[in-house]
Amino acid sequence: MSILHVDLNSFYASCAVADSDGKYTAETPLIVCGDPKKRHGIVLAATYPVKHRGVRAGMPIWQALSLYPNAVLVPPEYARYTEYSEAFMQIIRSYSPVTMRYGIDESYVDYNGCEHLFGAPETAAHAIRERVKQELSLTVSVGVGDNMIMAKMGSDYKKPDAVTVVNAENWERLMWPLPVESLMYIGRASARRLRAMGVQTIGDLARQDQAALRALFGVNGHAMWERANGRDDTRLISEPEQQKSVSHSTTLERDACGDAAVCAALLRQTEQTAYRLRHAGLRACVAGVHLRYTDLQYESAQKTLSRATDVTDELYGVLRPLALALHRGRAVRQIGVSFGRLTGEAEQLSLFDAARHVRMRALDEATDTLRDKFGFDIVRRMSTLGFAHTEKDDFTPFARH
């Protein structure tokens, strides 16, 4: 198996540097944030000089400026990010027919069978790195691995502008000394519980008794142990195979009777499913909702959007009136949302829509960053705090429907 994971370094900040016509460089202390003119909002991305001072995505601007007072603040340019992302993917696709976009700034590549065209996997990784640098003025970190977890951990291992090979022979040497929270899908809460067990590093986790992990974390305990040992049998799904729609549904722990309860559950489902859309680099042209009542009757409704979007609040704004029209005060047992006619093309915004869209997009980007690192429930909207669903329907961010 030969899998590559290619990750654009500090993507938003690097795009700002590339578009500055020499005004900024990679050494410029630059922060991309929601509203730099008002000096509030959240950090979306930063160049490495700023990161080295402790500034991180998701941090309030005031806190970032306290760490680096002279940092240059620039607003996000989402249309340009989409253009850069598409150009990046064109380069990636030229090295393999099987690629899987993983958000706007990274992609997996199934390199099996391509060696006769571009040489060894490490050779291809360096070629991709150089092409992205020359053609887009951006840098990437590439992980070369025996499976997807090894490739992803490899691209994270050394940044920026680097290639790291991770395999069964060097996994323990490279990965086991790292802090346990460095492992994919280990969020802050899980790391805290693991540290309470004396698990400080990935190696500590790999050496734990599986039964003890399962007792503490359920089925996720076994998955943690597998990842800590570099094991991953996930199949890379090529883009032509990717879903034409994305959906998520949940059976409620308590029946939702009032409008507020139905809307809270709907917002929760919309957040989760829109999160998956954004990670796939897709936007929806059709939004739908379905409700199953306590008498097991089922109703659904959908609407074609005026333009494609992946913004949570915009999707919820379409789904809410549909759900309330169906609900009519009946007790709801199950609720689900679906988004269809998916597209990866750049958004077309009117001047009227642009300001609010940028604000809502910045909110999504900030929460996505936190959720990627610490788990989905690290951020909750107040209106969804009372929402409860059954354990068997627990959210898996990248499950495909």
Could you tell me if residue 25 is inside a domain?
Answer: yes
268 domain-assigned:
yes
pLDDT digits (tens, 9 = 90+) for 244-297: 678 777 778 778 888 888 999 999 899 989 988 888 788 899 999 989 888 777
pLDDT tens for each residue of 289-300: 989 888 777 788
**Distance, CA of 82 to CA of 281 (rounded, Å):** 9
What would the pLDDT profile of 345-379 be if each residue is shown by its tens digit? 655 555 455 667 777 888 888 888 887 777 777 77
Mark whether 298 and 386 lie in a shared domain: yes
Long-range contacts for 11-14 (Cβ within 8 Å, ≥24 apart)?
Answer: 11/45, 11/81, 11/84, 11/104, 11/105, 11/138, 12/44, 12/45, 12/76, 12/81, 13/45, 13/46, 13/47, 14/47, 14/138, 14/139
Q: Is the pLDDT of residue 239 over 70?
A: no
For residue 384, is pLDDT > 70? Answer: no
| Whether 25 and 108 share a structural domain | no
Residue 77 in this model has a pLDDT that exceeds 90: no
pLDDT at res. 122: 97
Instruction: Give the number of other CB atoms < 10 A from CB of residue 167.
Output: 16
Q: Quick one: 198 and 221 in the same domain?
A: yes
The pLDDT value recorded for residue 375 is 73
* Short-list 95, 98, 134, 140, CA closest to 118: 95
Number of structural domains (the chain) is 4
**Catalytic annotation present for 106:** yes
157 part of a folded domain: yes
CA proximity to 342, closest of 368, 316, 308, 303: 308
Q: What is the pLDDT of residue 164?
A: 98
Residue 25 tokens, joined: 């460089």
Buried b (16+ CB within 10 A) or exposed e, 84-111: bbeebbebbbebbebbbbbbbbbbbbbb
Say yes or no: 195 and 89 in one domain: no
Q: Which of 77, 106, 172, 347 is catalytic?
A: 106
Whether residue 305 contacts residue 277, with contact meaning beta carbons closer than 8 Å, is answered with: no
Q: Which residue has the higher pLDDT, 154 or 328?
A: 154
**pLDDT at site 207:** 97
What is the chain's mean pLDDT, rounded? 86
- What radius of gyration, in Å, describes the C-alpha atoms of the chain? 22
Name the helix (H) or strand (E) containing 318: helix 312-327
Query: Would you say residue 33 lies in a domain?
Result: yes
288 pairs with which residues across the strands? 302, 338
Q: Strand, helix or coil at 211?
A: helix
Q: What is the CATH number of the domain that holds 203?
A: 1.10.150.20
The two beta strands, 99-101 and 106-110, are: antiparallel
Range of the domain at 278: 243-393
Residues 383 and 276 in one domain: yes
CATH number of the domain bearing residue 46: 3.40.1170.60
> pTM for the whole thing?
0.65
3-class SS of residue 226: helix
Residue 236 lies in a domain: no
What's the pLDDT score for residue 395? 38
Determine what percent of the chain is predicted with pLDDT higher than 90: 50
Is 186 found in the same domain as 322?
Answer: no
Q: Is residue 401 part of a domain?
A: no
CATH code for the domain of 157: 3.30.70.270
> So what's the pLDDT on residue 393?
38
Give the pLDDT score at 354: 62
pLDDT tens sequence across 295-342 = 777 788 889 888 889 999 999 999 999 999 998 888 898 888 989 888
Q: Do 357 and 387 reside in the same domain of the chain? A: yes
C-alpha 211/C-alpha 222 separation (Å) is 8
Q: For residue 397, is pLDDT > 50?
A: no
Task: Tell me what the mean pLDDT of segment 52-77 comes to.
Answer: 91
- Least confident residue range of 34-48, 81-95, 224-238, 276-290: 34-48
Residues 97 and 193 in one domain: no
Same domain, 251 and 388: yes
Tell me the range of 176-180, 301-305, 394-398 where mean pLDDT is highest.
176-180
State both tokens at 169. Answer: 């022979």
